[in-house]
């Protein structure tokens, strides 16, 4: 009897996100709106990529798949060689050989998945360098990494701390889910794949509204910062009711 692990891995990414939101609610870490610092981000990046690789191995390189798609040229390739391919290549090659369709490498969701793999590799092969990775600016611009408000001395977080963000986890989860759903969408409707169709239901995106509702229900303004900036402090003082 065999079991799947991809659904377990993506479930843990979601759990790490919820645990991180609880940390934000505790007000023990820095937070800018819905994005805050968390120690859970680095393992989340690793597990999100692992979930995708496990999914493609379980769903498309298994004996069940070989039975459903006997005529595919995929089986002319050595299994050991296929399994050792970089995930970036596997995501393009495997669906193309199985279904005649694949991801466009210059479009989403492949681009984000490729970026997520780079983030994962950065931490798996961590070398304690002080030089930030070239792709960090992209994550800064999208407010996925932790971006500090502008300071007179241009101070910012260390790059590993910038990537230790709650929005980083949400992005990793959603990227993994989008790529898995994309893989399943390549399956011809007249050749349903029972394993993939069943497992994909566990890959659900986390919408921004989920985070905002979580914070709001805990009495925290999702548009506020912690600690509050000078403008927020001024507003609170200005609107503070006078004592009779």
Rg (CA), the chain: 21
In the chain, domain spans: 6-238
Q: Which two tokens stand for residue 231?
A: 């403008």
Closest CA to 32 of 177, 234, 220, 242: 220
Are 25 and 220 in contact by the 8 Å Cβ rule? The answer is yes
Cis peptide before 227 (omega within 30 of 0): yes
pTM for the predicted model, two decimal places = 0.91
Beta strand extents in 31-80 (DSSP E only): 31-32, 35-36
pLDDT in tens, 98-143: 999 999 999 999 999 999 999 999 999 999 888 999 999 999 999 9
The C-alpha atoms of residue 89 and residue 6 are separated, in whole angstroms, by 19
pLDDT in tens, 5-39: 999 999 999 999 999 999 999 999 999 999 999 99
Q: Which residue has the higher pLDDT, 239 or 94?
A: 94
Are 47 and 206 in contact by the 8 Å Cβ rule? The answer is no
Phi, psi (rounded to 5 degrees) for 180: -70, -45
Are 53 and 83 in contact by the 8 Å Cβ rule? The answer is no
Cβ burial 48-65 (10 Å sphere, 16+ → b, else e): bbbbbbbbbbbbbbbeeb
């Amino acid at each position: 009897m065999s079991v799947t692990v991809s659904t377990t891995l993506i479930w843990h990414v979601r759990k790490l996100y919820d645990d991180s939101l609880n940390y934000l609610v505790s007000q023990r870490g820095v937070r800018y709106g819905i994005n805050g610092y968390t120690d859970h981000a680095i393992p989340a990046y690793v597990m999100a990529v692992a979930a995708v690789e496990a999914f493609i191995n379980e769903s498309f390189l298994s004996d069940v798949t070989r039975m459903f798609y006997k005529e595919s040229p995929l089986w002319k390739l050595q299994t050991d060689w296929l399994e050792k391919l970089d995930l970036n290549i596997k995501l393009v090659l495997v669906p193309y050989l199985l279904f005649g369709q694949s991801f466009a490498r210059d479009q989403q969701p492949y681009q984000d998945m490729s970026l997520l793999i780079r983030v994962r590799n950065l931490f798996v092969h961590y070398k304690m360098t002080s030089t930030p990775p070239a792709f960090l600016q992209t994550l800064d611009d999208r407010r996925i990494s932790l971006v500090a408000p502008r300071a007179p001395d241009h101070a910012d977080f260390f790059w590993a701390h910038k990537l230790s963000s709650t929005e980083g986890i949400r992005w990793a989860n959603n990227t993994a889910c989008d790529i898995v759903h994309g893989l399943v969408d390549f399956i011809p409707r007249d050749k349903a794949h029972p394993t993939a169709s069943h497992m994909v239901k566990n890959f659900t995106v986390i919408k921004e509204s989920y985070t905002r509702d979580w914070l709001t229900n805990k009495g925290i303004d999702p548009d506020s910062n912690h600690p509050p900036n000078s403008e927020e402090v001024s507003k609170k003082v200005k609107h503070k009711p006078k004592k009779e």
